[in-house]
Amino acid sequence: MSQPQSQPLTYAGAGVDIEAGNRAVHLMKQAVRSTFRPEVLTDIGGFGGLFALPAGRYQEPVLVAGTDGVGTKLKVAQLTGVHNTIGIDAVAMCVNDILAQGAEPLFFLDYLAVGKLLPERVAEIVSGVAAGCRQAGCALIGGETAEMPGFYSEEEYDIAGFAVGVAERSRIIDGQTIAAGDSIIGLASSGLHSNGYSLARQALLEVAGYRPDTYVPQLGRTVGEELLTPTRIYVKTVLHLLNKFAVKGLAHITGGGLTENLPRILPTGVKAVLNRTAWPVPAVFSLIQQIGQVAEPEMLRTFNMGIGMVLVVPAAEAPAVLQELQRLGETAYLIGRAAAGEPAVEYVYE
């Protein structure tokens, strides 16, 4: 039979520090408020965030929601002790997804679970979330920070995000009007984004034996800097294009690469033919492939290979779209065309 406790138990003694949580909220307030839009009706600290739909802008507003995490990229942040960019990734993975249906992101919520709540670290992570929200033009109106000792080690944490956007019902993009002959344009990624990190870490950190602070000439920076490069947020660029051109389809190239993600927007009877020589592949992908002796099809269905977002437009509009993207400072390529066939990706070398 167990002996009675000599001292009364407390929540803090069990590993959950409520005062540290309160301090974390205080430290993140300024970053959170920096994301607010006029439609935000509440300050942080309430039981729910209130957000009014933009008045007069939509005749038939349809809410579009998405959720995602950052995956094992978190391991790199924890190895390096760099925590101020991982929140950008959490936002990017969500807002780029709802953007693919033509939605303007309105607000975002985050969920952060930690082994030990260190207020300064939590504030650092949330500062990245706020930076991502500012890039996407959406408000960070709520979140949850859960201290979970015994579930995560003191250095471990996980983050997930939830984005809600709005689209005019008549302008929702679902790819169903894509037809043979349409042009496929790729917007450059910033590198790995937030996908394929289990394979990337195995190749670079285990097989090659690199450390996060190892400088690799092929990359022009350290392994840690390369792996922590934030996911690009395409919201402002794509929303601008939607107001000027007849964009028929959008695909966010995440886990599964071009091979798996592009067919998700193709209608029956249409395939995508992509020219593998039409865009440069960033060095990090070539390095992973070389070190891991990864087969080409495996690379193409695991990583974005340098293309983070795909647009399908009428062929007649493609030159003007590319010109506008250049004017906006975007790096974009005409990477292929739609053709008759069953929904799939065919790679050619032209």
H helix or E strand, kind and range, residue 337: strand 332-340
The answer to whether 28 touches 126, Cβ cutoff 8 Å, is yes
Structure tokens at 26: 């205080």
In 3-state terms, what secondary structure has residue 273? strand
- Indicate the range of 21-35, 81-95, 207-221 predicted with least confidence: 21-35
Q: Give tens-digit pLDDT for 275-321.
A: 999 999 999 999 999 999 999 999 999 999 999 999 999 999 999 99
Distance CA 181, CA 336 (A): 10
DSSP 34: T
Distance CA 21, CA 29 (A): 13
Write down the residue that tokens 């302008």 correspond to. Answer: 171
Write down the residue that tokens 């995560």 correspond to. Answer: 152
Q: Give tens-digit pLDDT for 174-197.
A: 999 999 999 999 999 999 999 999
pLDDT at 17 over 90: no
pLDDT at 4 over 70: no
Please name each of the domains of the chain with its CATH number.
18-171 (3.30.1330.10), 183-348 (3.90.650.10)
Q: Give tens-digit pLDDT for 206-235.
A: 999 999 999 999 999 999 999 999 999 999
Task: State residue 5's pLDDT score.
Answer: 59
pLDDT at 39 over 70: yes
**% residues pLDDT > 90 (the chain):** 87
H helix or E strand, kind and range, residue 271: strand 270-275
